[in-house]
Amino acid sequence: MDNLILKKAQQSDIRKIAPYLAEFKLDTENVSAEQFVIAEINGNLAGFGRIKPYENIYELSSIGVVPEYRKKGVGESLIKHLIKTCPANEVWISTKIVEYFRKLGFEEVDNVPEEIKQKTLRVCKNFYESVTDSYYMVFKK
């Protein structure tokens, strides 16, 4: 994509991201700039995502693409970058869009770390009546 820049988020970027986190019903727990990467196109926020650390695992979390930049490779570029820079050999995700992440190399699993299960229960219950349509996936480097 022309003029796509991926970079570590600064605190000022979190103020830009925050409204989208709420609008897109994404994980807002323990938001800190150090965890986020932003995508910019021609100086405009195009997307964002983070690697959220837990005690024993890392989760790909809070991935969002600003509507006007969707279907242009922004999300895929962010995800690949976050996976590459993640300090672990496994990257977990809970998602409702399984097919999208399967195309990027994630696999559905039944044996899910308790930390991810509990996070899904905490976060998703704030947005959705049910978390039974969330799927757990892992990417193994």
CATH number of the domain where residue 51 is located: 3.40.630.30
As for how many domains the chain has, the answer is 1
Separation between Cα atoms, residue 133 and residue 141, nearest integer Å: 26
Question: What is the structure's pLDDT at 134?
Answer: 81
- Written as one string, the DSSP assignment of 58-85 is EEEEEEEE-GGGTTTTHHHHHHHHHHHH
Q: What is the pTM of this model?
A: 0.92
Question: What is the structure's pLDDT at 120?
Answer: 85
Q: What is the pLDDT along the chain (141 residues), one digit of tens a residue?
A: 569 999 999 999 999 999 999 999 899 999 999 999 999 999 999 999 999 999 999 999 999 999 999 999 999 999 999 999 999 999 999 998 999 999 999 999 989 999 998 988 888 766 655 556 789 999 999
Which residues form the domain of 85?
4-140
Question: What is the structure's pLDDT at 94?
Answer: 92
Question: What is the structure's pLDDT at 14?
Answer: 96
